[in-house]
Structure 1
Amino acid sequence: MAAAQPIKVVALCGSLRRASYNRGLVRAATEICNESIKDVQIEYVDISPLPFLNTDLEVNGTYPPEVEGFRQKIRQADSIFFAAPENNYSVSAPLKNAIDWASRPPNVWADKAAAVVTAGGGSPRAQYHLRQIGVFLDLHFINKPEFFLNAFQPPQKFDSDGNLIDADSKERLKQLLFSLRAFTLRLQGKAE
């Protein structure tokens, strides 16, 4: 009997800063899956090379190479893991730009499971706005557990390189990843 295909998760970080706490959550999620959730494979996809959305760049139904490569990664994924910092009560400009490129016809977000995490001051506004955007995209977010991490409240959650070091936060992140795994399988009509 053949082994089941691993669940392919694309991880996107709305912060472009190398040592951002949100990027640290992506690294921690990847480590957790490598150690504890072996049938889930997370691939971090860098959104910084994407040009600003400009439909003048669409020529005869094609997209610039970096956009098409990004769209293919989303298309091939089973689910999406968003690390979404909050900017002015909303998602960051780089993340919104990536979302918009992948929503151009044909929308490659549709019918995928998704999870969202946020590190920073702990505000839920960006997550809730991203969930609203997901309704239009036909992107299905897990409801529980929610993951907001106030990175500035003791005890220290991240090291100086932006790596998650707090054991309780890692455990909460692990539970979110198990939930994403289960929801992805359910959307695909596969039993656990």
Structure 2
Amino acid sequence: MSKPKILVFAGSLRKDSLNKKLARAAGRYAEAAGAEVTFLDLADYPLPIYDGDIESASGIPENALKLKQILAAHDGFILSSPEYNGGISGVLKNAIDWVSRPLEGEPSMAAFKDKWVALLAASPGALGGIRALPMVRTILSGIGCMMMPEQVALGQANKVIDADGAITDEAAASRVQRLSERLVRFAAK
């Protein structure tokens, strides 16, 4: 097996986002399982809201091109998605929309096609962001990603993720660890 490259990120811009902390915890498990892990913060790549007129007039924004290059260079993704009003965050959907735009001569969905994805969500609420995950799964599988069948939605995450981003609940930590390790195995093939 080769050493897979795993990109870890959250669909949130907030500095102290529970989803960023959960993604990082999952990334540490993937690293321990033998992956080469890169942490990405979407806040470092601001983008305008996707608009075909902007694309026609100015092309694909530089930050979208940077994100596309980063995603394309990895074998799989660990993605922790917040749930906003029962759905996917606007920043995550917008990033996906911009990165999915093809460059001349580039294969369709080059940054997404055949990438393994592990989905997580964290929320202070009881459901843990579970309502957003089917939407994220539908979007990513529709553009060529291969989705891990299991996922983790961590309810009351503010009580089980400490200030340093460690998961303090043994059962929750075990679920995140298993998902991360399985992603590493799949991405290595």
State the TM-score, normalizing by the size of structure 1.
0.82
**Residue from 108, 111, 114 that aligns with 2:114:** 111
Q: Cα–Cα, structure 1 residues 26 and 12, in superposed 2: closer, same or farther, change >3 Å?
A: same
Q: Distance in 1 between matches of 2:157 and 2:11?
A: 19
Question: Contact conserved, 2:22 with 2:161, CA < 8 A, in 1?
Answer: no
Q: Distance in 2 between matches of 1:103 and 1:25?
A: 25
What is the match of residue 172 of structure 1? Answer: 175
Q: Cα–Cα, structure 1 residues 147 and 102, in superposed 2: closer, same or farther, change >3 Å?
A: same
What is the match of residue 98 of structure 2? Answer: 101
Q: Deviations over 1:51-96 (max 9, x none)?
A: 1223344369952221111100011110111100111221101111
User: C-alpha root-mean-square deviation of aligned residues, in Å?
Assistant: 2.2
What is the match of residue 10 of structure 2? Answer: 13
Question: Contact conserved, 2:81 with 2:119, CA < 8 A, in 1?
Answer: yes
Point out where structure 1 has 5 or more consecutive residues left out of the alignment. Answer: none
Q: Which has the higher contact order (CA 8 A, sep 6+)?
A: 2
Question: Contact conserved, 1:21 with 1:163, CA < 8 A, in 2?
Answer: no
Partner of 1:18, secondary structure, is coil
Point out where structure 2 has 5 or more consecutive residues left out of the alignment. Answer: 103-107
Partner of 1:90, secondary structure, is coil
Q: Does 2:149 correspond to 1:148?
A: no
Identical counterparts, % of pairs: 29
State the TM-score, normalizing by the size of structure 2.
0.83
Partner of 1:172, secondary structure, is helix
Q: Does 2:69 correspond to 1:72?
A: yes
